[in-house]
Amino acid sequence: MYRHIVVLTGAGISAESGIRTFRDQDGLWEEHHIEDVATPEGYERDPELVERFYNLRWEQLKSTDVKANPAHEALAQLEAEFDGDFLLVTQNVDDLHERGGSQRLIHMHGELNKGRCPRSRQTFLLREPFGPDNVCTCCIPPQRLRPHIVWFGEMPFGMDRIHDALERCDLFIAIGTSGTVYPAAGFVDIANHHGAQTVEVNLAAPDRHSQFQWHLTGKAGDIVPRLVKAVLQGKSLCSLADVLQETD
């Protein structure tokens, strides 16, 4: 049925794994001002504060009770078994897609478990928390590694590849994202414009501005495995009436 699938995930797909989202009730932004911890200016102003914010999230990611959930695993199955083009794009900086078995994905907002040399832009797997002594090995003198995170005002990664895939796709699935941050929030418009079927999976009911043709209300961990199974069986979204609630 489908030949080219693009999947976009947001913090909601990791919520059932114990990773806090940004804008839900006890979201990450409730405790911090975005401009203080997620902008180049904030880092310039107070690198220690920004390092503390990311070191805390990196520690949380390493705790043993944070595991990939059935939604991550279902997307890995889709990547492995779907015989058409498949691209997974995540806004998440955790490595739960990889822990769930995904191998080919684009972390468009960067990765929590990596540091980046500010001069060469070379990335390094994080082996210790960010700090004045955590420096690159590619420069003389060595440079203090910065979080390999795309901050507000910086260009997300992989945009050319993502745009190409969106223009070719016949199915676009967004999972666990509030659709409030561009350019990711605009991906559905590109997919719709190029004739794809578009569906979003979200715990919250769709708002009236939703551009998605279909909306699945519920937990990603419950819905994504059923959606992946149906897509792999060659079913179209229309034939999934029992699973889909069409946006009115």
Q: Reply yes or no on whether 72 is catalytic.
A: no
Catalytic pick among 72, 109, 148, 215: 109
Q: How far is the CB of 186 from ligand APR (least distance, A)?
A: 13
| Choice between 19 and 231, CB closer to ligand APR | 19
* Selection from 205, 195, 148 nearest residue 169 by Cα: 195
The residue with its CB nearest to ligand APR is 12
Is 107 a binder of ligand APR (CB under 6 A)?
Answer: no
CA 64 to chain centre: 21
* Selection from 21, 111, 189, 101 nearest residue 200 by Cα: 189
Distance CA 87, CA 160 (A): 13
Per the CB < 8 A criterion, the answer to whether 118 and 147 are in contact is no
Q: Within 10 Å of residue 114's Cβ, how many Cβ atoms?
A: 18
For the chain, the maximum distance between any two Cα atoms, rounded to a whole number of angstroms, is 61
Q: What residues form the annotated binding site for Zn(2+)?
A: 117, 136
Q: Within 10 Å of residue 168's Cβ, how many Cβ atoms?
A: 15
Q: Within 10 Å of residue 137's Cβ, how many Cβ atoms?
A: 11
Q: How far is the CB of 149 from ligand APR (least distance, A)?
A: 8
Q: How far is the CB of 74 from ligand APR (least distance, A)?
A: 13
Instruction: Mark 7-36 with x for binding to ligand APR (rule: CB under 6 A) and - for no binding.
Output: ---xxx--xx----xxxx--x---------
Instruction: Mark 165-204 with x for binding to ligand APR (rule: CB under 6 A) and - for no binding.
Output: -----------xxx-xx-------------------xxxx
Per the CB < 8 A criterion, the answer to whether 50 and 43 are in contact is yes
Instruction: Mark 67-86 with x for binding to ligand APR (rule: CB under 6 A) and - for no binding.
Output: --------------------
Residue type, 157: F
Q: How far is the CB of 138 from ligand APR (least distance, A)?
A: 26
Task: Using CB under 6 A, list all residues that contact ligand APR.
Answer: 10-12, 15-16, 21-24, 27, 91, 109, 176-178, 180-181, 201-204, 219-220
Active site residues: 109
